Structure formats: C-alpha cells, structure tokens
C-alpha cells in the first residue's frame, strides 16, 4: 500500500533531486501521466469544438434573463 509522508531536506539534497529530475535520471512518471492526460483532454475538447459547426450568436444578457426566469424564485 502506498504511503504519503512529508520529509524535510536540505538545500543541497533539494538541488540534487531537481537536477536528477531535470536530466531525466529519475522518472517522474505519475506527473507525466497526469500531464499527458490533461493534454489529451484539451486536444479532445479542441476537436469537439471544431467539429461542432459554426459558432452561433450569443446574447449573454438574454441568457441571464432566461436563467433567472427559469431558476430564480
């Protein structure tokens, strides 16, 4: 089972860790997976938007009025 813990490290150790991560010597796999998942979600949203057709006129004031009529008592 995974365990989350906090530790305090000195500046020298922190510099070493950052250097190793920057060089790719230490794999930051879980973060890369999250980053990749976010990138894929953004790509999918862009494609969905492009495929949704031409933009339509939007009146923000009219939208708010309609929402108030429907949901505000």
For residue 32, being part of any structural domain is answered with: yes
**Cα dihedral 65→67→70→73 (10° resolution):** -80
For residue 71, being part of any structural domain is answered with: no
For residue 19, being part of any structural domain is answered with: no
Give the mean pLDDT of 50-60: 89
* Predicted local distance difference test score (pLDDT) of residue 58: 92
Decide if 17 contacts 26 (C-beta within 8 A).
yes
Comparing 17 with 47, which gets the higher pLDDT? Answer: 47
For residue 70, being part of any structural domain is answered with: no
* Predicted local distance difference test score (pLDDT) of residue 24: 65
Residue-range definition of the domain harbouring residue 43:
26-51
Neighbours of 72 (CB within 10 A): 6
Give the mean pLDDT of 30-34: 71
3 state DSSP class of 28 = coil
Per-residue pLDDT at 34 exceeds 80? no
For residue 30, being part of any structural domain is answered with: yes
* Predicted local distance difference test score (pLDDT) of residue 73: 74
Q: Does the global pTM surpass 0.75? A: no
In angstroms, the CA 26 to CA 71 distance is: 53
């Amino acid at each position: 089972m995974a365990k989350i813990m906090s530790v305090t490290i000195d500046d020298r150790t922190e510099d070493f860790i950052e250097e190793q991560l920057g060089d790719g010597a230490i794999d930051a796999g879980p973060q890369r997976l999250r980053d990749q998942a976010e990138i894929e979600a953004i790509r999918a949203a862009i494609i969905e938007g492009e495929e949704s057709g031409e933009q339509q006129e939007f009146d923000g004031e009219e939208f708010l009025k309609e929402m108030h009529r429907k949901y505000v008592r």
